[in-house]
């Protein structure tokens, strides 16, 4: 199993969700997060003064899938979340040791 963690622009959430569900990937967890990468925040104007907002609002999506599906999910997410401009986000893939479905007690690939 792999856990795929994608940090994307908030307005791209619907596109990513549709791309994944359209490909039969069901289930994800979404969190509103803030952060910065190379984009290093942005500047805003207030009453004639410029100021920097370091921590920009982003959406973090967590998806757990069997190993075989991981590459497909990554390409779906990156494809759907890309605008081509700085600040599009990142995708992280990590191995996952175990998973349980609370209701039935199933474990492993069956549980995700």
Partner 1 sequence: MKDLGSFARTYRGRIAAVVIVACFLAVGGWVFAQDKPPAPAPAVVAAAAPAPPPSKPDPAGTATGGIADVTAKTAGKPTLEEVADFAGHNRVSLNIMWTLLTGFLVMFMQAGFALVETGFTRAKNVAHTMMMNFMVYAIGMTGYWICGFALQMGGLGAISTMGGTGLLDSEFVISLFGKDFGLFGMKGFFLSGSTYDVAVFTLFLFQMVFMDTAATIPTGAMAERWKFSSFVVFGFFLSMFTYPIFANWVWGGGWLSQLGKNFGLGHGHVDFAGSSVVHMVGGVTALAGAMVLGPRIGKYNKDGSANPIPGHNIPMGVLGCFILAFGWFGFNPGSTLAGADLRISVVAVNTMLASASGAIFAMFYMWFKYGKPDPSMMVNGMLAGLVAITAPCGFVSSFWAFFIGAVSGVLVCWAAVFIETVMRIDDPVGAIAVHGVNGAWGVLSLGLFSDGTYGDGFNGVEGTVRGLFYGGASQFVAQIIGTVTCFVFIFSASWAFFKVYDVVFGMRVSPEVEMEGLDVPEMGVHGYPEIQGPATLVHAMGASMPKTPAMTMAPERSR
In the block, tokens 């207030």 appear at 46
Q: Is 64 helix (H, G, I), strand (E, B) or coil?
A: strand
**38 interacts with partner 1 by CB under 8 A:** no
Rule CB under 8 A: choose which of 14, 18, 29, 34 binds partner 1: 34
Q: Is 82 exposed, middle or buried (0-12, 13-18, 19+ CB in 10 A)?
A: middle
| Strands 2-8 and 56-65, bridge-based pairing | antiparallel
Rule CB under 8 A: choose which of 11, 51, 85, 102 binds partner 1: 51
Of the candidate spans 2-10, 15-23, 46-54, 73-81, the one that interacts with partner 1 by CB under 8 A turns out to be 46-54
Binding site for partner 1 (CB under 8 A): 34, 41, 44-55
């Amino acid at each position: 199993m792999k856990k795929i963690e994608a940090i994307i622009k908030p307005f791209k959430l619907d596109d990513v969700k549709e791309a994944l569900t359209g490909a039969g990937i069901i289930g994800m967890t979404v969190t509103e997060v803030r952060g910065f990468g190379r984009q290093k925040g942005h500047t805003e104007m207030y009453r004639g003064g410029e100021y920097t907002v370091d921590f920009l609002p982003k959406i973090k999506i967590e998806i757990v899938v069997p190993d075989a599906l991981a590459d497909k999910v990554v390409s779906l997410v990156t494809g759907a979340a890309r605008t081509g401009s700085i600040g599009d986000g990142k995708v992280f893939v990590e191995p996952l040791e175990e998973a349980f479905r609370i209701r039935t007690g199933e474990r492993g690939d069956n549980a995700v």
